């Protein structure tokens, strides 16, 4: 593997920029790799560095897809775009990355759309409950032209969306039974803190709380909260089966990765390089899904084999109740953002 620039320099740059700026705006965004204007053709002698950070491990499907992205981009540009990958929170957590990219501290990041609630609330459309049947349905949307409409939402915030990458479908876990409305009501549940998720869990009669993933295990272990909502892969990787007794396979919401870049840096690239980045990122949504599917069954079986969790399918009555309560959340969102109604229809139709 090629040598990487010291992470300390990047971390220092982020800290300096975050202390000087109260919010990530497009104004003043700059990158170390775009001091000069890019040409309009791939024959330019200009070279670019694209540092891409994320919070998951080097063994994650996300990183596997990013390594293929690195390979394809460097081959297609004869090394004129050098992609550098940083994983495992080595540059910062999800909230820090969301500030670092528009500020220009790094060029790009990949993280769930759920962290963008404070940046662009319309992205909450991807958090709407029971919108996607499974991860393949999510892939169909991510690779469609319809996804472009949502990707454009973050451009006024100093970022350019390259592609959506499926991550998983959420289920419920708890230290207490959760197989009926009465059992679920009153429990304290961790969510990622998006307005849609908070409204959804409130509609189910729970007390939703936003807690960082890094604090989730200890919060469950200490009884600060009773349960949480996540995809099976994350439940396995964070060993939540050690501090949770029940899993209900509700498949109630998607978790979608957004691969995005600093807009000023992206706009400095030649047009054909811009197209290459977007096309390659979208093409790799399929590989990302394949990698997720490949490991999901293994991880689900590994959880079952521990014998520490009671895993249940929701009854027809329970599922109907969950969906009926969720309808009020969808209606409230679309009442606030009526232009997203057509997007929802397109998602369902994929």
Instruction: Summarize pLDDT for 131-154 with one digit per residue, the tens.
Output: 999 999 999 999 999 999 999 999
Helix (H, G, I), strand (E, B) or coil at 96: helix
This prediction has a pTM of: 0.84
What are 92's two structure tokens? 């910062």
> Is residue 11 within 8 Å of 91, Cβ to Cβ?
yes
> Is residue 220 within 8 Å of 172, Cβ to Cβ?
no
> Is residue 86 within 8 Å of 58, Cβ to Cβ?
no
| % of the chain with per-residue pLDDT over 90 | 82
> Is residue 134 within 8 Å of 148, Cβ to Cβ?
no
Measure the CA–CA gap between 21 and 91, rounded to whole angstroms: 18
> Is residue 180 within 8 Å of 262, Cβ to Cβ?
no
Q: What is the pLDDT of residue 292?
A: 95
Q: What is the pLDDT of residue 15?
A: 47
Measure the CA–CA gap between 142 and 145, rounded to whole angstroms: 8
Measure the CA–CA gap between 60 and 320, rounded to whole angstroms: 34
Q: What is the pLDDT of residues 192-247, one digit of tens each?
A: 888 999 999 999 999 999 998 889 999 999 999 999 999 999 999 999 999 999 99
Element (H, E) at 53: strand 48-53
> Is residue 173 within 8 Å of 240, Cβ to Cβ?
yes
Q: What is the pLDDT of residue 117?
A: 86
Q: What residue ranges of the chain have pLDDT lower than 70?
A: 1-44
Q: What is the pLDDT of residue 45?
A: 74
């Amino acid at each position: 593997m090629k040598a990487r620039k010291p992470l300390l320099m990047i971390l220092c740059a982020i800290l300096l920029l975050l202390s000087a700026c109260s919010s990530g705006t497009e104004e003043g965004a700059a990158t170390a790799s775009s001091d000069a204007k890019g040409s309009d053709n791939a024959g330019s002698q200009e070279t670019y560095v694209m540092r891409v950070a994320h919070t998951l491990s080097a063994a994650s499907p996300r990183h596997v897809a990013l390594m293929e992205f690195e390979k394809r981009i460097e081959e297609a540009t004869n090394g004129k775009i050098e992609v550098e990958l940083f994983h495992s929170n080595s540059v910062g957590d999800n909230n820090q990355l969301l500030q670092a990219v528009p500020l220009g501290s790094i060029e790009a990041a990949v993280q769930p759309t759920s962290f963008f609630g404070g940046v662009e609330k319309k992205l909450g459309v991807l958090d709407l409950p029971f919108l996607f049947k499974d991860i393949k349905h999510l892939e169909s949307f991510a690779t469609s032209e319809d996804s472009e409409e949502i990707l454009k939402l973050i451009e006024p915030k100093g970022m350019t969306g390259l592609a959506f990458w499926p991550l998983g479908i959420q289920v419920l876990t708890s230290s207490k039974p959760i197989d009926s409305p009465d059992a679920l009501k009153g429990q304290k549940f961790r969510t990622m803190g998006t307005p849609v998720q908070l409204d959804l869990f409130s509609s189910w009669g729970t007390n939703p709380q936003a807690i960082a993933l890094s604090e989730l295990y200890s919060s469950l272990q200490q009884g600060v909260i009773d349960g949480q909502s996540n995809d099976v892969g994350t439940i396995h990787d964070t060993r939540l089966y050690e501090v949770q007794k029940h899993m209900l396979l509700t498949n109630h919401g998607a978790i979608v990765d957004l691969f995005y870049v600093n807009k000023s840096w992206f706009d400095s690239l030649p047009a054909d390089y811009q197209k290459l980045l977007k096309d390659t990122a979208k093409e790799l949504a399929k590989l990302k899904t394949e990698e997720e599917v490949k490991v999901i069954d293994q991880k689900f079986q590994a959880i079952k084999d521990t014998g520490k969790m009671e895993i249940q399918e929701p009854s027809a009555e329970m599922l109907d109740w969950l969906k009926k309560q969720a309808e009020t959340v969808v209606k409230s969102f679309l009442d606030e953002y009526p232009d997203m109604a057509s997007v929802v229809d397109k998602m369902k139709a994929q």
